[in-house]
Amino acid sequence: MAIAVSSVADTCRAAKRAARALAQTDTAVKDAALEAVAAALESRIEELLAANERDMQLAREADIGDALLDRLRLDEARVAAIARAVRQIAALADPVGEVIDGRRLPNGLDVRKVRVPLGVVAVIYEARPNVTIDAAALCLKSGNAIVLRGSSSATHSNAALAQIAAEAAVAAGLPDGCVSLVSGGGREELTELATQKDTVDLIIPRGGEGLKQALQSVATVPVIYAASGNCHVYVDASADLDQAQAIVLNAKTQRPGVCNAAETLLVHERVAAEFLPHILSAFATAGVLVRADERAHNAIADPRAIPDLKIEDATEEDWASEYLAPIIAVRVVDSLEEAIEHIGRYGSGHSEAIVTRDTAAARAFQLGVDAACVYVNASTRFTDGGEFGMGAEIGNSTQKLHARGPIGLRELCTFKYLVEGDGHVRT
């Protein structure tokens, strides 16, 4: 099977052969294969957890930090959630063959624009082993073969997950090579995968800026960057402050080590004196380190009145930082326009939120902020394929072409024109 193929080039060639067969595979066969994958995950959970524990032990010894440990960890509930996501993907409409547009030309030719698979999708990702299955399920459902390359920190987890998925899918009727894994080797292997332009149709990296920069310097295969998330929540002058506190806390603390967590809080100066003591107290309770500008410091009459508050001076570097940790930068702004300007300068184009009761302010924020997902009175944590009804996602694209936001089934397709005539020739 493709899991056992040693070289990157051979793995990609096997995936290309599988992709040709997958493009012609009926929906029922693909759905049955996904059900087989979900069932295999459930029946082999002890094997999965044992493999994950090996990675967790090595990660603890390497002291990678609580946020990354949380990303790496699997347990029964998480495996059950992964299997559930596979079944949700199976239940979604098959995008392959969907007619996007169709018409009869004046010359009598019938033209249909239909969705088709991309072919071979390579997914390069860091730390989170659930991506192995989410990405595989989305690719198989959309008729694509997948080549996976995880990080060295999840070597054992990814190998177990990929092998289970590949074996179950092939046993259910999908072609050998439809799910492949290459080891999390060094820069040479990454370069080799990124230059397989004859066999790989698209690369989706899911990781930090370091991974993005490494690929930008070598890739000859098209890339959709599921890149970093320097996300903001702006509390407007007209905000419901109780609602604002709930949204900010959720965006920062519900799961701080993910790309849709908030990294910067912007507060309008008219509500700063009232709002900041309350939210900073909540941050103190949650163990969040605050890096505040001078005006945010001044909005707190006596920081000693907030037990356990950890607060430092913000630097220029903080505004551009994706912490992926219980740390948040806080700035007071004079206006909605200043908040939009700040986001435009420092944001990564991922997810941005405004809390406001002013419809005009909400609309101005929606129009003025350039990001994949823009929220009004809601947490940035909702930027997720599962939350958006996609079953899962391969990542969140911060680009504008060819996909933006959560990358789901339709984003893993391209299209072709099917043209039918009756002896037509052009004169």
**Please, which pLDDT band fits residue 386 given cuts at 50, 70 and 90?**
confident
Q: Pseudo-torsion of CA 337, 338, 344, 346, nearest 10°?
A: -160
CATH number for the domain including 299? 3.40.309.10
Q: Are residues 221 and 186 in the same domain?
A: yes
Q: Is residue 239 part of a domain?
A: yes
Count Cβ atoms below 10 Å from residue 60 Cβ, excluding itself. 11
Joined tokens for residue 199: 């066999």
User: Domain residues for 338?
Assistant: 231-382
Strands of 293-400 (E only): list them: 310-313, 327-333, 351-355, 373-376, 396-397
Q: Are residues 378 and 238 in the same domain?
A: yes
Total of domains in the chain = 2
**Model pTM?**
0.87
Q: Is residue 280 part of a domain?
A: yes
Q: Are residues 204 and 281 in the same domain?
A: no
Interatomic CA distance for residues 52 and 129, integer angstroms: 9
CATH number for the domain including 13? 3.40.605.10
Q: Quick one: pLDDT at residue 2?
A: 44
pLDDT at 5 over 70: no
Q: Are residues 57 and 171 in the same domain?
A: yes
Q: Are residues 251 and 216 in the same domain?
A: no
Lowest mean pLDDT among 112-116, 224-228, 239-243: 224-228
Dihedral sign (CA 38, 44, 49, 54): negative
Between strands 262-268 and 289-292, the pairing is: unpaired
pLDDT tens string 277-305: 999 999 999 999 999 999 999 998 787 78
